[in-house]
């Protein structure tokens, strides 16, 4: 019985941490999604904006990964 209560307590804690993490993640990514919402056409559905933001950040990261060694003179 004590083990079952311990497992239940851990599951409740895990669910709470997931909720906090989700809210924290949304808080950190909201500026990016807001900017992407402004620059994308109105035809793009709101549910697709986070995906567009991810790919935009991916390509910016890739471009910076290529540009930084060139600017630094590293071959």
Number of H helices, E strands in the chain: 2, 0
36's CB contacts (< 8 A; 6+ apart) are: 49, 52, 53, 56
pLDDT for res 1: 82
The first and second tokens of residue 9, run together, are 């307590």
Closest by CA position to 56, among listed 30, 37, 36, 38: 36
pLDDT tens per residue across span 4-38: 898 999 999 999 899 899 899 999 999 999 999 99
pTM score: 0.71
């Amino acid at each position: 019985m004590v083990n079952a209560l311990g497992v239940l307590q851990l599951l409740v804690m895990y669910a709470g941490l997931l909720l906090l993490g989700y809210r924290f993640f949304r808080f950190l990514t909201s500026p990016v999604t807001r900017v992407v919402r402004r620059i994308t056409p109105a035809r793009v559905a709101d549910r697709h904006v986070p995906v567009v933001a991810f790919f935009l950040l991916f390509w910016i990261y890739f471009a910076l990964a290529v540009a930084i060694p060139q600017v630094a003179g590293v071959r």
